[in-house]
Structure 1
Amino acid sequence: MCVVTELCHHFAKRYPKKFVSIGHPISVILVLVATPFFFTLQMFYIAPKIFNDVLYKIYWVVAIFITYNILGNMIFCYLYNSSVERLPKEGKLPVPEEEHLWHYCEICQKLMPPRSWHCALCGCCILKRDHHCLFTATCVGHNNHRYFFWFTFYMTLGTCLSLVTSLVYGIMSGISIPFYDMFYLFMKDTSPTSCSYCQYIILLLNNVACAVPALMLAFQIQIVCHNATYYQIFDRTYDLGFRKNCKLIMGQRGLWTFLSPTLKSPLLHDGTQWQMRPDSKLLNAPKANVN
């Protein structure tokens, strides 16, 4: 996974336009194809065979809720742009007492707010830039971080449920060899049926589909807990405690935003002024002379 990430970073830096034109469509289509595929497989093939009528109806509600939140948060993450250029005119200039916290972007040739950084793929500076996400085809930053977090959360939850039910169905179907040892089948005298092969392949795909968002979610939980960003994940400069951190990222409703991407939850500020911990070295650093 780390090797793939580094290769993507290397290609993106050298060929940003080509990377966007290829990477965005492939990644978005992958999500848009995989989500209905696993939903259909679960609801019309696997779930009816392992649940009774009552549990099957409950599972329908849960599956629809998860799928709605996966696709909804993905779309809202794309729609809510975190570019510094989206700020009103007065928001693009620092107040005198905070000018020393702003930095100059050589590419944009402008002063930029703290925690904002330039994205070569977006071609602009992003407020509290976390990272550029191929699966949502945009940069994750101040205005859309909430949606990306719940996108990864529901992707992980959905694929984990799918994996568990698929394993249960596999056990009920009499599959005794773990799917990750499927190559052991070739060492046996007896040949498995084509149906068994399909089940193993689906389980393998389900594991990959579960591992990728789960890894992203693990990073995002760390980031939300400490109000950090992906490239500065161990930075505690802006850590104001779990509850305040959640509201800074999720908005005034905090973790209640898990209910729906359409739930209104205004952010506490515009992303240009960030409160730091009292013991922060940056806060206690001497102010630069701006005469």
Structure 2
Amino acid sequence: MKPRAFNYVRVGSLDQAFEAYASVRGAGCYLAGGQSLVPALSLRFQSPELLIDISNIAALRGISLDGDFLRIGALVRHAEILRSHDIATHAPLLSLAAPYVAHPAIRNCGTIGGSIALADPAAEFPAMALALDAEFELANASGLRRVRADGFFRGLYETALQPGEILTAILIPSFGINERCAFDELSRRRGDYALVGAGVQATVSRDRVDEIRIAFLSVGATPIRARCAEAAVKGRVISAGSIAAAQAALDQDLDPDEDRETSPAMRIHLARVLLGRLLGRIGDPHGPSGRGGA
């Protein structure tokens, strides 16, 4: 199948993008890396009157430390995240997740902003944004606003983005000296969508978990924070007992849908296995996920 006919314009600034969108009275669509949009156009899931190419907007690029936050431009590509020293230093959970994103060809073109704006519940970066307590900078013709990741993902492919808005940057609190993180996912083949995946970021002092955020992908219509599992381990030393309590709490956090390949019971079982692995890594002070005197 081929896309329906559309007009195309490449813009060089946000103002030009908003003007182009307004010129077709909302019948436009923004194009960045195109790894999700182009297939959607070909399948006619989307049929815009105007395709607005924002890939040349310099203001949407770059990775920089801004006070206590790491600022990642929405057009930063997955491959850049994989290579970035700043990401490895200040947001290492993204570095751990990046190798699992599809295949090299897609990582070389796809953008982190595109992944988050699409909000595919099986994608790695939307879930990691939850685990990292990220904020998203959204722009429209009237100005900028910020939305926390906890309030951004609202349903299957549904987000807090309003018509015509552009996700311009992801803001992540810089990784602290007592923080540890871990990521893993289970899939049939490397590069396939995960059957289940998860990321954990925790603050650990004197072997006790002071704060923890656990986020899952591929277990619901949105990326999901496992708040009951977090509560089961917060304030405790990570041990066989606290891990088992967190695994049991997943029954309250996760309610995956039935599909033809994997039953809900199997997904929850795999989620428990994965969470046990990740908490074990978080509990290891000499493991690769922590640093400093954690």
Q: Same fold (TM over 0.5)?
A: no
* TM-score (structure 2 length as normaliser): 0.26
Q: Hey, which of these two has a bigger chunk of strand by percent?
A: 2
Rg (Cα) greater in structure? 1
